[in-house]
Amino acid sequence: MPPRGLEPAGVALVDKPSGPSSFAVVSQIRRLTGARTGHAGTLDPFATGLLLLLSGRATKLTPWLVGLDKRYHTEIDLTCLTSTGDPEGEAVERHAPPGEEELLARLERLRGEIELPIPAASAVKIGGERAYKLARRGVEVEMPVRRSTVHALDVIAYTGEKVTLDAHVSSGTYIRSLAIALGGHCATLRRTEVGPFPVGDAVVPEAFTAERLLSEAEVLERVQAARAPGT
């Protein structure tokens, strides 16, 4: 009999709904399987889309998964900056949206290797305390800058006041930082891919069963194939 919590082993592709935290979804899957459960990157409560959850002894695969590129669809409200860079924060500035030519110029500056401040409402620790906890208390701090790679930032739809983008970015990129740099905030955010894993292969938490777990061998095969030169 395997040690307690190591089975069932594998990786779950879960389509997170808007509302619950990623940790609430992790707990939900843990209750279903009875196994130790980890994650390869969280989503904010307002966001939806793909979570990679590792079950049982497959938690040892975490180093293979946390650094994978991500893809997101986000609708950005170009008329309002919020305290968090998303709809959960308070409006701090309302303004006319940039014209189409200016928007395209801003998008071009955000492609490639970039450096942007980490949002104040993030889990990064500042002086030993989570930044979002400081922000909730109204403590203003200078947020550190993070270097990221934006492989693609393509316009899906544009209304003048809102723009919907398909963003392919390196791990650790804050889409809220991109929205702030464009002069707005993320009205919606959906993670559509993590490395070679698409959200189309995922199920909502309520539909998950242990039979949906990808085997450790399959996960490693897909990750290695995605990292192979020329892919």
Q: Residue 145: pLDDT above 90?
A: no
Predicted pLDDT at 125: 67
CA atoms of 213 and 60, how far apart (whole Å):
15
Interacting residues of 190 by C-beta distance below 8 A, sequence separation 6+: 47, 48, 49, 72, 73, 74, 199
DSSP annotation string for 184-230: SEEEEEEEEEETTEEGGG-B-GGG--GGGPBPHHHHHHHHHHHHSTT
Predicted pLDDT at 4: 64
Give the chain's mean pLDDT: 91
Reply yes or no on whether 15 is catalytic: no
Q: Which CATH number fits domain 10-66+195-223: 3.40.50.20, 3.30.70.20, 3.30.2350.10, 3.40.50.300?
A: 3.30.2350.10
Domain boundaries, the chain: 10-66+195-223, 70-193
Predicted pLDDT at 128: 66
Predicted pLDDT at 118: 77
Average pLDDT over residues 136-158: 82
Q: What is the pLDDT of residues 54-99, one digit of tens each?
A: 999 999 999 999 999 999 999 999 999 998 899 988 899 999 999 9
Predicted pLDDT at 229: 73
Instruction: Enumerate helices (H) and strands (E) in the chain, giving the number of each.
Output: 6, 13
Q: What is the pLDDT of residues 190-221, one digit of tens each?
A: 999 999 999 999 999 999 999 999 999 999 99
Beta bridge partners of 188: 75
Domains 10-66+195-223 and 70-193 share a fold: yes
Helix (H) or strand (E) holding 148: strand 145-158
Average pLDDT over residues 138-154: 81
Q: 76 with 163: CB under 8 angstroms?
A: yes
Average pLDDT over residues 22-30: 96
Structure tokens at 114: 């970039």
Average pLDDT over residues 120-137: 63
**CATH-assigned architecture of domain 70-193:** 2-Layer Sandwich (3.30)
Catalytic, out of 15, 44, 77, 86: 44
Q: How confident is residue 1, by pLDDT bands cut at 50, 70 and 90? A: very low
Predicted pLDDT at 59: 96
